[in-house]
Amino acid sequence: MALLQTQNLTAHYGDFQALFGVDIELGEAETVAIIGANGAGKTTLMRSIAGVLRNDAGAVSFDGVSIGALTADEIMAQGVAMVPEGRKLFPSLTVEENLLIGTYGRKTAGHWTLDTVYDLFPILAERRHNPGTALSGGQQQMVAIGRALMSNPRVLLCDEISLGLAPVVIKDIYKAIPQIKAAGASMIVVEQDIAQAMAVADRVYCMMEGRVTLSGTPDSLSRDDIHNAYFGASH
């Protein structure tokens, strides 16, 4: 049985419908990538799973239990942590405080502690007393990932962790993913960079206009399939 599953998930912003019956699955110890053009609904999907956007009781289940009607803090306490799009560090908190706040709603012992996060991203140890927002974009992204890891989540949702970063920095950050997997988290990685997504993912979902248009393992999908799923067959 899947660890995390959405069934016929819909989402609205006011009158605007952003998701139309999305079904995805994430298995235990699996990494799934979600790709799609701007505005496809990837962030909306992540926010719906994390509980930041309301949805129906039956639409999301985690570990066999419906979490669709729970609030974001309750879902986090169950073990679903998110690295939000745009990093969203707390400006009033130092780097270390940003990491520590990640355990507020869930204090589960596990691989990830301040020390292991600093081992993963050594630069953060040097900057631990700086305000979180005084760091470079890449370093901020590391803090955001570390912050989500601190609660030792069972599922980690990463929304565009390469957004706006230089290729070398992206490489640095993606180097951490195998270690995160090894420590036992299942992951959903939202990514615009298709090559990067293919490299880390066990399976890929492609979204367009609020629907999943394609899914499969990276090696089963051809370039043309992806191109069509990304932009629609007419292109």
Residues found near another protein in the complex (CB under 8 A): 50-52, 71-73, 76-77, 81-82, 84, 88, 90-93, 97, 100-102, 104-106, 147, 151
Quick note: the x/- pattern for Mg ion over 37-76, rule CB under 5 A, is -----xx---------------------------------
User: Could you tell me which residues are beta bridge partners of residue 5?
Assistant: 25, 61
Please, what is the minimum distance in Å from the beta carbon of residue 37 to ligand ATP?
A: 7
Contacted by 196, from another protein, ligand ATP, Mg ion, none: CB < 5 to 8 Å by type: none
Contacted by 16, from another protein, Mg ion, ligand ATP, none: CB < 5 to 8 Å by type: ligand ATP
Contacts of 177 (CB under 8 A, 6+ apart): 31, 187, 189, 200
Continuous segment of H or E residues that includes residue 98: helix 95-101
Which tokens in the block code for residue 119?
Answer: 């081992």
8 A C-beta contact, residue 79 and residue 108: yes
Using the minimum distance from each CB to Mg ion, give the nearer residue, 99 or 194.
194
Please, what is the minimum distance in Å from the beta carbon of residue 24 to Mg ion?
A: 15
Please, what is the minimum distance in Å from the beta carbon of residue 38 to ligand ATP?
A: 4
Contacted by 122, from another protein, Mg ion, ligand ATP, none: CB < 5 to 8 Å by type: none
Please, what is the minimum distance in Å from the beta carbon of residue 1 to ligand ATP?
A: 27
What does the alpha-carbon distance between residue 186 and residue 157 come to, in Å, rounded to a whole number? 9
Backbone CA torsion sign across 150, 140, 32, 171: negative
What does the alpha-carbon distance between residue 172 and residue 142 come to, in Å, rounded to a whole number? 10
Using the minimum distance from each CB to another protein, give the nearer residue, 77 or 198.
77
Query: Which residue, among 43, 49, 55, has the nearest Cα to 10 in the 3D structure?
Result: 55
Cβ-based neighbour number of residue 160 at 10 Å: 21
What does the alpha-carbon distance between residue 150 and residue 143 come to, in Å, rounded to a whole number? 10
8 A C-beta contact, residue 207 and residue 36: yes
Using the minimum distance from each CB to another protein, give the nearer residue, 150 or 204.
150
Using the minimum distance from each CB to ligand ATP, give the nearer residue, 103 or 192.
192
Please, what is the minimum distance in Å from the beta carbon of residue 96 to Mg ion?
A: 28
Contacts with Mg ion by CB under 5 A lie at 42-43, 85
